[in-house]
Amino acid sequence: DVKVTQSSRYLVKRTGEKVFLECVQDMDHENMFWYRQDPGLGLRLIYFSYDVKMKEKGDIPEGYSVSREKKERFSLILESASTNQTSMYLCASSPMMTGGGYTFGSGTRLTVV
Amino acid sequence: ILNVEQSPQSLHVQEGDSTNFTCSFPSSNFYALHWYRWETAKSPEALFVMTLNGDEKKKGRISATLNTKEGYSYLYIKGSQPEDSATYLCAFSSGTYKYIFGTGTRLKVLA
């Protein structure tokens, strides 16, 4: 069964902490994405990567960075967590840039206190 | 600004009822429309990828139609069951990496 695995289901962090959200896929997909989901809003793209060490900003990159050192792993980094980054974070991967559809992880619910 | 809207935002139906919801999207620069089902504590699961105007897709009791000229897609569930309870998301693609997601329709099927 193909999988996108996110390292934590629930996470509670303090304001100002550096936070790492990890995502691993086992499908050899080129593309990986980080989204956040907030009540009343659609999934919003934070960053995506189309190859190892390649990354592009999505719609809401402020306060975030990413790392893709290996094809299967895409990390989202909150440099200094703030309460407005409390959200559900979803990682996804796809085999092609367009039209291929996503395979999602099960999400990480991050609470920043 | 491209916008994808889903309606209704939420609904409750009785077990056995049939139901449908709508995804509205820009009618220009259409490439594909995706439907996902997202159950609580699980990963969003792909239901359909729709690319051609007039497309109809079916998976068990769930089906979807596509009208790219007027910019909408319908998702139908026939004979709803409690296990159909989930949030149903649509995502519009204009052919770039960037999918635009709707806010979802949250369905609750009451036993």
String of b and e for B29-46 (b: at least 16 CB within 10 Å)? ebebbbbbbbeeeebbee
Average pLDDT of the residues of chain B: 93
The mean pLDDT value for B4-8 works out to 95
- Chain B positions touching A103 (Cβ under 8 A) are 43, 46
Residue B82's SS3 state is: helix
* Per-residue pLDDT at A2 exceeds 90: no
Average pLDDT of the residues of chain A: 92
Q: What single DSSP character describes residue B83?
A: G
Q: Which amino acid is at B35?
A: W
How far does B45 lie from chain A, in Å, by closest CA? 7
Residues above pLDDT 70, as percent of chain B? 98
First to last CA, chain A: 36
The mean pLDDT value for B90-98 works out to 85
Q: Is A49 on the interface with B (CB under 8 A)?
A: no
The per-residue pLDDT for B35 is 96
Give A43-79 pLDDT, tens digit per residue: 999 999 988 989 999 999 999 999 999 999 999 999 9
Phi/psi for A23 (5° steps) reads: -140, 130
Residues 36-75 of B with CB under 8 A from A: 36, 41-46, 49, 51
Strands, DSSP E only, in B17-101? 19-24, 32-38, 45-50, 56-59, 62-67, 72-77, 86-93, 99-101
How far does A81 lie from chain B, in Å, by closest CA? 24
Residue with tokens 């896929």: A25
